[in-house]
Chains A and B, each alone.
Chain A
Amino acid sequence: MNESLPLRELLIQGTYLVSSVFFIVGLRGLSSPEKARAGMGYAALGMLLAIVGTLLHAEIVRFEWLIGGLLIGTIIGVVIGRPLFISVPMTAMPQWVALSHAAGAVAATLVGINEYMILRPEIAAGTMAALGFEVLLGALTVTGSVMAFGKLQEILPGRPVTWPLLNVLNLLLLAVAVALLVVLMVNPVLSTAFWIMVAIAAGLGVLMVLPIGGADMPVVISLLNAYAGLSASAMGFALDNNLLIIVGALDGASGFLLSILMCKAMNRSFTNVLFGAFGAPAAAAPGTLADGREMRAITPDDAAVRLAYARLVVVVPGYGLAVAQAQHALRELTDLLEKRGVEVKYAIHPVAGRMPGHMNVLLAEANVPYDRLFDMEEVNGEFPRTDVALVIGANDVVNPAARTDSGSPIFGMPILDVDKAQSVMVLKRGKGAGFAGIENELFFDPRTFMLFGDAKASLTRLVSEVKSL
């Protein structure tokens, strides 16, 4: 430790240090929409420095493969990232992020495997532990992300797939994988143990995501992000590289924080999301409550009058809005209302969408200014003075049973207090229950009007009705 480092090494470490600072400054920029783009510029610069610093590495003796890889990767990245070539729609953002996690994790896993094969004859126990975690978390993230992609892209069934003892099996597999890692720490030459460990991790990724339903995807995607970050951190421990440790830790923190926030927003624990298989369909006669009350339908022209003569309208968009691709029609309607002097606010529940903050991006894409978008805490106090709460394709996040009915599966989940508004208008495809299969008493309230039909068609109809007033 006391001998001074060669100049080359000093240069590398200096570059890495500046790079780490840029990453932190970059993430800090995301605390406000005005500074966010500049912040990401710093982060990108940090990444560039990281690459430059790495190229100075003494171990690198051949550049042809490395430059070829960088070029091919950049071309593919640009094709995906630039709307000119393939325009990834904002609704597909969660599956894109999942796929991208998989790519990063493939890299981490391959580096880990490669390092193991090079060092195999003599690996210190500490290094082996780091390599083991890198490969375990990496392989798990690869298959888990591909599964999440399949579910979100609806190639695989989105409903939770589960069978008895699956959780026990998963825990057992995890225990075996960790046991194999301990064996490898004692005797790193046993390459069979290493390969079995990798295979188990890959299998675990599949089995862990399989029983998780579509509505819980925000948690899973955040969690996979955390795993990918921790895998990079482990790589840092194995390769003695502080930059990898730092950036991996930042990623891990981000992923875990978001998964915790998402769990809180659903009032569920981590274990419940991961092992609960929520979202199994419940059978109930649609359109009527046990006491025989029925939903009250409203015609589009009545609905238009109610909206046009309101003082404050709060829009509650749910994922149904995005499914119907009705964001632009909604923006058009609210623009018209604002021209007539109606105050319009958007109330965004934290789990509206398929990933954290998804609904904000979908509305921003439809040119809704972000100062109209309000978080649950900010907007809940406004409902008592709201004339019309316009609920579009949302169900569980406005279900008052979460506050009142201790027997309800969503009891305790924080909701938007739509039921406190003067009147409620619900745009809904049909009379069926929501994603979680839970009946919503709000829809049977005497102050609630239902406008049935496809969200986009209904909104377009409302636009023309308001125009003709």
Chain B
Amino acid sequence: MNLTTVIQLYVFVLASVVGYQVISRVPPLLHTPLMSAANALTGISLVGSLVAAGSDHGTLSTVMGFIAVICATVNVVGGFLITDRMLKMFKRDHRKAP
């Protein structure tokens, strides 16, 4: 195991801990938007897809990258839009002023 891998493991573990801490503060009220947001975030595979679609490794590679870019982008764009649509619906009660 080289130094890069060790650093990557550090990053992975620390990010998991941060993720756990941040997400355990999300109230059950917002668990569905959280899920939808996490879903949009899985579209981060777009990063790998873009490189695959843009680098020069033959037609098959480009086509696979192209399809991957489409799928990941649908995931990202659709995910963020639907999350926002959901969050817009959560309103406080304005009828009874405290």
Point out residues on A near B: beta carbons under 8 Å: 1, 20, 23-24, 26-28, 30-33, 36-37, 40, 43-44, 47, 50-51, 54-55, 57, 59-63, 65-66, 68-70, 72-74, 76-78, 80-83, 88, 90, 93, 96-97, 100-101, 103-108, 110-111, 113-115, 117-118, 126, 221-222, 225, 228-229, 231-233, 235-237, 239-255, 257-258, 261, 338, 348, 350, 353, 355-358, 360-361, 364-365, 367, 369-373, 375
Q: Please determine whether A250 and B78 come into contact, CB atoms closer than 8 angstroms.
A: no
- Residues of chain B within 8 A (CB-CB) of A36 are 30, 33, 87, 90
Identify 6 new A-B residue pairs, CB closer than 8 A, beyond the known A40-B87, A364-B89. A66-B54, A77-B74, A107-B75, A110-B67, A249-B12, A258-B31
- Residues of chain B within 8 A (CB-CB) of A100 are 39, 74-75, 78-79
Closest approach, in angstroms, between the C-beta of A18 and any C-beta of chain B?
14
Alpha-carbon gap, A373 to B54, bound state (A): 48
Please, how many residues of chain B have a CB less than 8 angstroms from a CB on the other chain? 85
Nearest neighbor of A367 in chain B, beta-carbon distance: B91
Nearest neighbor of A373 in chain B, beta-carbon distance: B29
Q: Please determine whether B78 and A76 come into contact, CB atoms closer than 8 angstroms.
A: yes
User: How many inter-chain residue pairs (CB < 8 Å) link A and B?
Assistant: 372
Q: Please determine whether B47 and A241 come into contact, CB atoms closer than 8 angstroms.
A: yes
- Residues of chain A within 8 A (CB-CB) of B28 are 261, 348, 350, 356-357, 360, 375
Q: Please determine whether B42 and A228 come into contact, CB atoms closer than 8 angstroms.
A: yes
A47-B44, A74-B77, A126-B1 given; A245·B67 CB < 8 A: no
Interface of A is mostly: helix
Q: Please determine whether B37 and A27 come into contact, CB atoms closer than 8 angstroms.
A: yes
Nearest neighbor of A23 in chain B, beta-carbon distance: B41
Q: Please determine whether B66 and A81 come into contact, CB atoms closer than 8 angstroms.
A: no
Alpha-carbon gap, A126 to B1, bound state (A): 8
Q: Please determine whether B78 and A80 come into contact, CB atoms closer than 8 angstroms.
A: yes
Contact with A along B59-88 (1 / 0, CB 8 A): 011101111111111111111111111111
Q: State the 7 A-B residue pairs at the shortest beta-carbon distance, nearest first.
A: A73-B73, A81-B81, A77-B77, A357-B31, A69-B69, A253-B19, A60-B54
Nearest neighbor of A109 in chain B, beta-carbon distance: B68
Q: Please determine whether B92 and A369 come into contact, CB atoms closer than 8 angstroms.
A: yes
- Residues of chain A within 8 A (CB-CB) of B56 are 61-62
Alpha-carbon gap, A157 to B8, bound state (A): 43
Task: Return the contact of B8 from the options A69, A111, A113, A237 (Cβ within 8 A).
Answer: A237
- Can you show 28 pairs from A to B with CB atoms below 8 A apart? A23-B41, A24-B18, A24-B22, A33-B90, A33-B92, A37-B84, A40-B37, A47-B40, A60-B55, A77-B73, A111-B48, A222-B35, A225-B35, A225-B42, A228-B39, A242-B8, A245-B15, A248-B44, A250-B16, A250-B18, A254-B38, A258-B31, A357-B33, A357-B34, A358-B32, A364-B90, A364-B91, A371-B92
